[in-house]
Structure 1
Amino acid sequence: MLRVRDAHAPRLLILSASYGAGHDQVAHAVRDAVLRLCPAADVPVWDFFAAFVSPWLNRAVQRLYLTSIKHWPQGYGLFYRLTGDIRPDSPFQRWLNSLGADRLLGAVTRYRPDAILCTFPTPAGVLSEWKGRGRVRVPLYTVITDHTVHSQWIHPHVDVYFVSSPEVARGVSGRGVDPARVIVTGIPIRGGFREIPDPQRAREALGLDPRLPVVLVMAGAFGALGGVPQIVATLMRVPRPLQAVVVAGRDRALAARLEALVRQSPVPMRVFGYREDVPVLMGAADLLITKAGGVTTSEALAAGLPMIIYRPIPGQEEANTAYLVAHGAALRARNAEELGTAVADLLARPERRAAMARAAWALARADAAERVARVILAGLAGGTGEPSAGDRADGRGGGEARSGTGAPGPGHGSRRRPGRGGPAVGSAAREERAPAPDGPSHEGRTGVAPGSAGEQGAALAEGREWVGRPGQTVALRGDGA
């Protein structure tokens, strides 16, 4: 038995992808929020590419993605632009919608979710295709994880889009989506950002000097920020008192290189690997140097932390940067010289840091995950699942879902469509089971421990079934059970 639960409890399936850590972080933030609001819910998170497309292809694409953004960002930017206006009925999009489609449909049919949420665009396209054919009839939600919109996020049978801002909402509706189907919630982030630690306590927890301003450098979960050694070297030359914390993520080679650098530094510096306590890190900091990922920047907004975006890569990061700079929450540094100037200026001008902190708080939506969870759970409870007047992005009620944001927070003072053939998921035929899709063992593919909720996707894709009827427990049963 993988997991025992009440068979009447709502089932929300979340589909993500591990290209960068942001999509997975959003998925788990929403899952955690749903479980806080409805502890009986079943909320597995499935890695779409690893479980349903190909484990080796997934690993190859991950490496290609990280290599391109580190060493050939212009190539990544070109790909982003070339795919920016692809129509949903184009041959390329239809091909994308075929990736892992049969295996995913088989697993979804066996699991029988009450709703599906996608935090990555490709599974949303696959499921939109199946909804158009009438094979999936449960609500399909998408969280757009950047401060901009790209054509890959837009699919005709997605029921609701959760977006970061009114600007993104207008971008989605400008691509032909009914504005009433777009809800401004913010980008879901981990729950710890609802209460940012006091700076002094955060610094004590990290072993930092409470008297010196803290510059935090975040290289991303996989060390994807380019030029981190140059950033460190630049901070050594800034003519202002400071201390630095550099988070290298899971890139051990980068961490080792940085450790060698900081041993020669006249400036106090600490190097960390991957950290989960990001609210503490941001709580301790006066200034953040980072790449322009949607999740990290949303976390910094919630912390009221001024940002310097260093060498944003062409594509969504450029667009994210433009949004943050336009609203006064960030500066852009294209090279080490601009970075050094910006750091020195902000450290010398606490009033400017305070203005940037206020701008960040004005954009922040630390409760985004809970807002997404409430809309979905309202639908599963028999409500419409639609936003209230104040949550809509169609011009009725201000176009945004917000509560208690925009004011200085804790921390730094300075700162269903019918279709053809086959039983449909969510239809009256939901008790019928589709044939088990073929596929290799899930071992080494899903990246989750046996017995965890994330194993459900791979298990169902292999033909092991979730069995149970109303009033009974639900168990994962293998072929010999």
Structure 2
Amino acid sequence: MGRRILIVSASMGAGHDAVAAELAERLRSGGHLTVCVDLLDLLPPGAGRGLRAVYRTTLRRCPWAYGAVYSAFFRDRGDPGDRNNWAPGTGPLAAVLEPRLRSVVERWRPDALVSTFHQAAQVTGRLRSRDGVCPPSTVVVTDFAVHRQWLHPGNDLHLCLTEAAAARVRATTGRPAEVCGPIVPPAFASVGHENPRGQSSRWTREFARRGPGRPPVLISAGAWGVGHGLTETALLLAGAGHIPVLLCGRDERLRDRAAMLPGVLALGWVEDLPDLMAASSALVDNAAGQTAQQALAAGVPVVGYRPIAGHGAEGVSEMAAAGLTEHAADEMALVRSLDRLVRPGPDRDRQVAAGRAVFTVDAAGLVA
């Protein structure tokens, strides 16, 4: 018999909502009834939109400020296994959201809660530990670097991308944590780099027209087009013999600027990203988020470069430490990494195999 499952996400960028949507689709396919709630919609009118705008503006214009906030409130204060390093649920935002989410739970009466955003994990953890009517709660950690805002011992289970992340959760919270790997649509895995679909796609024809023999390399900037030196990176790759494809997300101003650069293909929001990845040779990533995880599924090598502050820098470092990607410290290192990874060879084969191996079990089955 199907269960009623309430998934709590937040529209901070597109990654958390993408995970929530894919998880909901898998659960529905398994006969469960699911509803997705945006945590920002539970705030007083206008507050969620304002919070999102402040976060986006800070990432774009004052990354040092976001880095300082991340260091103060998200990063461990010492030994990651020391439970005194963090204070769950003490943030004012979680306190405001707790009664509002409780109202949703009381109205919809779910059999289980699932969080795909760290602040949602704080709220569900508070509810679960304080409220006897709150159903079991699972946290789907979407980051490779598990900062302490993901961690609240009131939650029953954490699902993590890697065993290192799961071990960190277990050590800090004393609660169960399992590995499920990234949650991405199956279309990315089904159109792996060598899949014949990519050979006749519009992207393959476009790249052949732009520069036969020049490997197309994607440059990710997330849904908001955030990152340092994105156009400079595109020009660097063009000069190194690649076709740089700058994914500008929904930032039309970035797209307009990049479209003026010689040899650079600037794209807005891409609806057929699996086919684009199938036709591409590598991804340059700055956040270790959904785009990087989708590339792993598609068999596209990933190089971390100029990561955004806070969770981006830690995530890029964790992915490289796990052997899933490479982390280029400077321009020459980036060019050298791409020279080895864009063409067939042992380095490329090794990274593609490591990336695909991280997809272990279906998270929907663990949630259900």
Q: TM-score range by the shorter chain?
A: 0.7 to 0.9
Cα shift at 1:91:
9.2
- Tell me the alpha carbon deviations over residues 421-451 of structure 1, each in whole angstroms, 9 at most, x when there is no partner: xxxxxxxxxxxxxxxxxxxxxxxxxxxxxxx
Letter in 1 for 2:280: A
Cα shift at 1:345:
4.8
Q: Decide whether aligned partners of structure 1 residues 108 and 331 sit closer, same or farther in structure 2, where only a CA change above 3 A counts.
A: same
Structure-2 residue corresponding to 1:73: 63
Letter in 2 for 1:42: L
2: CA distance between counterparts of 1:108 and 1:56? Answer: 22
Letter in 1 for 2:245: V
1: CA distance between counterparts of 2:351 and 2:295? Answer: 11
- Tell me the alpha carbon deviations over residues 317-360 of structure 1, each in whole angstroms, 9 at most, x when there is no partner: 22222222223332223444543443345447744323322332
Count of aligned pairs between the two proteins: 354
Letter in 2 for 1:243: I
CA-atom RMSD in angstroms: 2.5
1: CA distance between counterparts of 2:30 and 2:181? Answer: 18
Query: 2:282 matched to 1:287?
Result: yes
Structure-2 residue corresponding to 1:325: 320
CA contact (8 A) 2:128 2:136 kept: no
Alignment counterpart, residue 34 of structure 2, candidates 43, 63, 77: 43
1: CA distance between counterparts of 2:155 and 2:266? Answer: 42
2: CA distance between counterparts of 1:140 and 1:125? Answer: 11
Query: 2:18 matched to 1:20?
Result: no
Structure-1 residue corresponding to 2:295: 300
Letter in 2 for 1:287: A
**Which protein is richer in helix relative to its size?**
2
Cα shift at 1:200:
5.2
SS in 1 for 2:29: helix
Q: Decide whether aligned partners of structure 1 residues 243 and 316 sit closer, same or farther in structure 2, where only a CA change above 3 A counts.
A: same
Q: Decide whether aligned partners of structure 1 residues 132 and 333 sit closer, same or farther in structure 2, where only a CA change above 3 A counts.
A: same
1: CA distance between counterparts of 2:350 and 2:91? Answer: 47
Cα shift at 1:209:
3.7
Structure-2 residue corresponding to 1:250: 250
Alignment counterpart, residue 208 of structure 1, candidates 206, 209, 212: 206
CA contact (8 A) 1:311 1:332 kept: no
Cα shift at 1:279:
1.7
Q: Decide whether aligned partners of structure 1 residues 209 and 130 sit closer, same or farther in structure 2, where only a CA change above 3 A counts.
A: closer
Q: Trace 1:432-471 onto structure 2 (pairs within 5 A).
A: none
- Tell me the alpha carbon deviations over residues 130-153 of structure 1, each in whole angstroms, 9 at most, x when there is no partner: 222224331111001111211111
2: CA distance between counterparts of 1:53 and 1:88? Answer: 28
Query: 2:26 matched to 1:33?
Result: yes
Letter in 2 for 1:174: A
Q: Decide whether aligned partners of structure 1 residues 348 and 299 sit closer, same or farther in structure 2, where only a CA change above 3 A counts.
A: closer
Letter in 1 for 2:19: V
CA contact (8 A) 1:288 1:305 kept: yes
Structure-2 residue corresponding to 1:404: none
Letter in 2 for 1:56: G
Q: Which runs of 5+ in 2 are unaligned?
A: 78-83
Cα shift at 1:203:
4.9
Q: TM-score scaled to structure 1, two decimals?
A: 0.68
Q: TM-score scaled to structure 2, two decimals?
A: 0.87
Letter in 1 for 2:25: D
Structure-1 residue corresponding to 2:163: 166
Larger Rg: 1
Alignment counterpart, residue 372 of structure 1, candidates 331, 347, 363: 363
Q: Which runs of 5+ in 1 are unaligned?
A: 1-7, 378-481
Larger RCO (CA under 8 A, 6+ residues apart): 1
Letter in 2 for 1:292: A
